[in-house]
Amino acid sequence: MPCDRITSRQHAAGPRALLPRPRPAHSADSVLQWWTALPPKEMGIILGVAALLDAVLIRLILLPVLLRLTGHGAWWSPAWLTKVLPSITFTH
């Protein structure tokens, strides 16, 4: 669009009418096209890596650290729930 010719409709819309419209960075269609374009072997590898990261980072590192930081408060439960749940003790 040449800058020297502005129609009355564009002039009424203001200076924003001259700027190009922004496109969304990622749409659901583009992500779905990318996911369906992967071969099954690559999808399996990606899911395997995701499960390994979940097991190592979340369950072996993050969860024990959070339990150690919160201490006894990690095992707190509301009074109404302690009345409902059975009391279980472990002895050695």
Q: What is the pTM of this model?
A: 0.43
pLDDT in the model for residue 91: 87
38-78 pLDDT, tens digit per residue, is 788 888 998 999 999 999 999 999 999 999 999 999 989 99
DSSP of 5-69: ---HHHHHH-GGGGSPPPPPS--HHHHHHHHHTS-HHHHHHHHHHHHHHIIIIIIIIIHHHHHHH
